[in-house]
Amino acid sequence: MLQVFFLPFLSPLASALWPQPVSYDHGDTVLFVQKDVTFFWYKCGAKNVGSIAEQILDQQPMMLVSDSDLDLGGDGAYRLRKTYTEPSFQEFESSFRGEGVSGDDIVDYAIKSAWRTIFKQNLYPWQFHPRGWEEPSPHTHTASISEIHVMLLTSNSPDGAKPLAGTVDESYTLELSIHGKATIAANSSTGIARGLTTLTQLFYAHSDGKHFYTPLAPVHIYDVPQFEHRGLNLDVARNWFPVSDIKRQIDALAFNKMNHLHLHITDSQSWPLEIPALPELAAKGAYRPDLVYTPNDFKELQRHAAIQGVEMITEIDMPGHTSSIWYSFPDLIAAFNKQPDWDHWAAEPPSGTLKLNSTAVYTFLEKLYADLLPRIHPYSRYFHTGGDEVNKNSYLLDDTVNSNDPTILQRLVQTFIDWTHAKVRSAGLTPIVWEEMLLEWNLTLGPDVIVQSWRSNEAVKQIVQSGHKALTGNYQSWYLDCGKGQWLDFSQSTSASSWPYTDYCAPYHNWRLMYSSDPLSGVPESLHHLVLGGEAHMWAEQTDPVNVDGMIWPRACAVAEVLWSGAKDEMGRNRSQVEASPRLGEMRERLVMKGVGAESIGMPFCTMGGGECGLG
Ligand SMILES: *[C@@H]1O[C@H](CO)[C@@H](O)[C@H](O)[C@H]1NC(C)=O
Ligand SMILES: *[C@@H]1O[C@H](CO)[C@@H](O)[C@H](O)[C@H]1NC(C)=O
Ligand SMILES: *[C@@H]1O[C@H](CO)[C@@H](O)[C@H](O)[C@H]1NC(C)=O
Ligand SMILES: *[C@@H]1O[C@H](CO)[C@@H](O)[C@H](O)[C@H]1NC(C)=O
């Protein structure tokens, strides 16, 4: 009787998936799950034409003895059974070998990761229930989940782990029967990973720390992302971040079903990326010789991302934002670190730019690309060539140009971009640029080039009207660094007039602001297909490993949901904060359980009762 009385009241609090699936129905039956739950893994081989879930399920799964048994499927359907226990989980970082990541790697990792999330990083959800709440008891609820089936319905495309936007179908279905059988089906390994991520969010930890349950059976979910490109841009050049801190951001991105990490890996302040063909670059350009990303670090990051369905996009910003090259190759850089009037020469100190009409610069880039691009190719289809905030005055001090005349410079920048993009394409990669290359420099860009906007919705509209694919994420809504105040020091004479020392994009962009931003705002409907998605931006002037988690999370979750689920709900209305807030509160707790220092967004008082913290 008590149960019947409580459950209708509790159920809205206890169905917190993030991001919100396209369709989601659930009941209120409690099912416990045991640590020795068996994962059954089915996949279609090329011979299994047009197979559907039922056909695959008719087949008897087979015991997997070792990874080498993967190729068992003579009749076209591979059938594996895996019991994931702690020891095998501990091996999961060390099982990497060779170059690149396969669809099987993604599923294997996703199963292990789901196991870890459910049994090792799960949430005891007291904050989301009233005081005096009676949690489900493993003694009274004896029904349990014993089988989790994951089914790959069609064979993966060869480049499934490093796709061009839109070429991987990330949709999935998730069924959890009242009898304790969970089934996830998808058309790609990445879809399976997304479905397993959702599955983990159906479960909670019992307060005894030994039992795990879902109060939501039966569950029916169909899900598919609205946008193909859902990312975070992380600047690791203004401040340096150890590999482990970046990996933790990748894990959090995957948990939010984001699929791109854009690593802004060099800038004027430091060059942490080791280029073996140009060893002086990082040796002299990094803040300290040991604050670098070795080729092995770089590979590990790309792999750690790809294996979770997150494609890492490396950006070497050029021709501006390059003055850290001066420490090793001073002849290649013009207008290095002009002081005190640096703002005449750059957007931020130190000023400096690659010379625009220098054969030595092209020789340097030739070496750089020949070294770097083949190391990216196994893990990504993209390379970001930058192109923001190119300062025209700095070419007055460029001895190969000696001019700030836009028409003279425009031709040189066009040549520069044509040359670099040809190199990028010949390495099998697709170029991405910042919006200024198109909108300020009026360059002719190849039709393949993706243009990343950061300044306004109006810019996004202009990009797609020019026929290019666009990434959104403007500084007024999706910059995570805004509102911290100035990092510049003010002198006695400028101090009073600059009080209270706000930064250019203040105020702080809270999650509600980020959540209310629509990537399609102002874009004509006929051009919506050219808006691939967008990125939240973590520029790191005032962010380092100590505060990075809290700066990014859970605000980037708001961006993740807009990009996965769309800015509008199923009725076409702006998504509701009242609905989102308790779900985001739970997502925050889950991130904390996964070791991510996500900031609090509210008080338990608001989530324990439900609805008592609304306004109007
Ligand atoms: C898989 O592909 C089929 C055929 O295109 C499509 O109908 C289905 O929605 C896709 N997704 C899932 C999860 O089955
Ligand atoms: C670029 O350099 C070449 C040869 O050094 C020179 O002839 C040419 O005038 C320069 N172009 C510009 C626009 O300065
Ligand atoms: C690009 O075009 C705009 C608008 O026509 C113009 O204002 C701007 O000066 C041009 N930029 C360059 C570098 O030529
Ligand atoms: C919906 O959100 C947009 C911002 O994306 C805002 O301009 C608009 O006024 C909102 N509409 C309503 C009905 O609140």
**CA-closest residue to ligand 4 atom 8:** 574
Residue ranges of E strands in 422-538: 430-434, 450-452, 469-472, 531-538
Looking at the structure, tell me whether residues 474 and 342 fall in a common domain.
Answer: yes
Buried b (16+ CB within 10 A) or exposed e, 450-473: bbbbbbbbebbbbbbeeebbbbbb
Q: How far is the CA of 187 from the centre of ligand 1 (A)?
A: 6
Q: How many domains does the chain have?
A: 2
DSSP 168-193: S---EEEEE-TTSEEEEEESSHHHHH
Looking at the structure, tell me whether residues 372 and 510 fall in a common domain.
Answer: yes
Q: Please, is 260 exposed, middle or buried when counting C-beta atoms within 10 Å of its C-beta (0-12, 13-18, 19+)?
A: buried
**CA-closest residue to ligand 3 atom 5:** 442
Looking at the structure, tell me whether residues 339 and 219 fall in a common domain.
Answer: no
Q: Does residue 408 line the site of ligand 2, with CB under 6 A?
A: yes
Q: How far is the CA of 568 from the centre of ligand 4 (A)?
A: 10
Looking at the structure, tell me whether residues 211 and 242 fall in a common domain.
Answer: no
The Cα 204–Cα 201 span in angstroms is: 8
CATH number at residue 338: 3.20.20.80
DSSP code for 21: P
Instruction: Assess if residue 605 is contained within a domain.
Output: no
The Cα 369–Cα 277 span in angstroms is: 10
- Return the biggest CA–CA distance within the chain: 85
Q: What is the pLDDT of residue 316?
A: 98
Q: How far is the CA of 410 from the centre of ligand 2 (A)?
A: 13
Q: Using alpha carbons, select from 600, 603, 596 the residue that is nearest to residue 256.
A: 596
Number of Cβ within 10 Å of residue 442's Cβ equals 12
User: What are the counts of helices (DSSP H) followed by strands (DSSP E) for the chain?
Assistant: 18, 17
Q: Please state the atom number of ligand 2 nearest to the C-alpha of residue 401.
A: 14
Instruction: Tell me the ligand closest to 358's alpha carbon.
Output: 2
Q: Using alpha carbons, select from 474, 589, 532 the residue that is nearest to residue 18.
A: 589
The Cα 284–Cα 315 span in angstroms is: 20
Q: Does residue 400 line the site of ligand 2, with CB under 6 A?
A: yes
**CA-closest residue to ligand 1 atom 14:** 186
What are the backbone angles phi and psi of residue 434, rounded to the nearest 5°? -75, 155
Instruction: Assess if residue 423 is contained within a domain.
Output: yes
Instruction: Assess if residue 614 is contained within a domain.
Output: no
**CA-closest residue to ligand 1 atom 1:** 187
Looking at the structure, tell me whether residues 100 and 10 fall in a common domain.
Answer: yes
Q: Please state the atom number of ligand 4 nearest to the C-alpha of residue 573.
A: 13
Residue span of the structural domain in which 99 resides: 3-223
- Indicate left, alpha or beta for 248 from its phi (over 0: left) and psi (-120 to 50: alpha): alpha
Looking at the structure, tell me whether residues 490 and 420 fall in a common domain.
Answer: yes
Instruction: Tell me the ligand closest to 444's alpha carbon.
Output: 3
Ligand 2 pocket mutation pick from 400, 401, 411 by most atoms within 8 angstroms of CB: 400
Number of Cβ within 10 Å of residue 597's Cβ equals 15
Looking at the structure, tell me whether residues 248 and 280 fall in a common domain.
Answer: yes
CATH number at residue 110: 3.30.379.10
Q: Using alpha carbons, select from 534, 524, 553, 348 the residue that is nearest to residue 454.
A: 534
> Do the Cβ atoms of 475 and 505 come closer than 8 Å?
yes
Q: Tell me the CA distances in angstroms from 68 to 65, 204, 393, one per residue in order.
A: 8, 34, 61
Q: Which token pair is 6?
A: 């409580």
Contacts with 531 (C-beta within 8 Å, 6 or more apart), sequence order: 227, 460, 464, 469, 470, 472, 519, 520, 523
Looking at the structure, tell me whether residues 18 and 68 fall in a common domain.
Answer: yes
Q: Using alpha carbons, select from 420, 419, 459, 421 the residue that is nearest to residue 440.
A: 459
Looking at the structure, tell me whether residues 270 and 164 fall in a common domain.
Answer: no
Instruction: Assess if residue 597 is contained within a domain.
Output: no
Looking at the structure, tell me whether residues 178 and 291 fall in a common domain.
Answer: no
Three-state SS at 311: strand
Instruction: Assess if residue 362 is contained within a domain.
Output: yes
The Cα 229–Cα 450 span in angstroms is: 11
* β-bridge partners, 39: 82, 148
Instruction: Assess if residue 472 is contained within a domain.
Output: yes
Q: How far is the CA of 412 from the centre of ligand 2 (A)?
A: 9
Q: Please state the atom number of ligand 1 nearest to the C-alpha of residue 173.
A: 13
> Do the Cβ atoms of 57 and 149 come closer than 8 Å?
yes
The residue behind tokens 């702006």 is 574
The Cα 566–Cα 559 span in angstroms is: 10
Active-site positions read 389
DSSP code for 37: E
Instruction: Assess if residue 586 is contained within a domain.
Output: no
Pairing of strands 172-176, 144-152: unpaired
> Do the Cβ atoms of 451 and 463 come closer than 8 Å?
yes
What are the backbone angles phi and psi of residue 475, rounded to the nearest 5°? -65, -20
Dihedral (C-alpha) 55, 58, 62, 64: value to the nearest 10 degrees?
Answer: 50
Q: Does residue 527 line the site of ligand 2, with CB under 6 A?
A: no
Q: How far is the CA of 440 from the centre of ligand 3 (A)?
A: 6
CA atoms within 13 A on the CB side of 320: 21
pLDDT average per 10 residues of sequence, the chain (616 residues): 35 75 97 91 53 38 36 50 63 64 92 94 96 94 90 87 94 97 96 98 97 97 98 98 98 98 98 98 98 98 97 98 98 97 97 98 98 98 98 98 98 98 98 98 98 98 98 98 97 93 97 98 98 98 98 98 96 94 96 98 88 76
> Do the Cβ atoms of 12 and 26 come closer than 8 Å?
no
pTM given for the model: 0.94
Q: Does residue 518 line the site of ligand 4, with CB under 6 A?
A: yes
Instruction: Assess if residue 461 is contained within a domain.
Output: yes
Looking at the structure, tell me whether residues 399 and 359 fall in a common domain.
Answer: yes
Structural domain ending residue among the three candidates 200, 223, 246:
223
Q: Please state the atom number of ligand 3 nearest to the C-alpha of residue 409.
A: 13
> Do the Cβ atoms of 220 and 25 come closer than 8 Å?
yes
What are the backbone angles phi and psi of residue 103, rounded to the nearest 5°? -60, -40
The Cα 32–Cα 138 span in angstroms is: 7
Structural domain ending residue among the three candidates 195, 223, 251:
223
Ligand 1 pocket mutation pick from 44, 173, 187, 221 by most atoms within 8 angstroms of CB: 187
Q: Using alpha carbons, select from 383, 527, 537 the residue that is nearest to residue 460.
A: 527
Q: Please, is 353 exposed, middle or buried when counting C-beta atoms within 10 Å of its C-beta (0-12, 13-18, 19+)?
A: buried
DSSP 43-83: EE-TTSTT--HHHHHHSPP-B--SGGGGG--TTSEEEEEEE
First-to-last alpha carbon distance for the chain, in angstroms, is 35
The Cα 351–Cα 337 span in angstroms is: 5
Looking at the structure, tell me whether residues 210 and 322 fall in a common domain.
Answer: no
Ligand 1 pocket mutation pick from 55, 152, 171 by most atoms within 8 angstroms of CB: 171
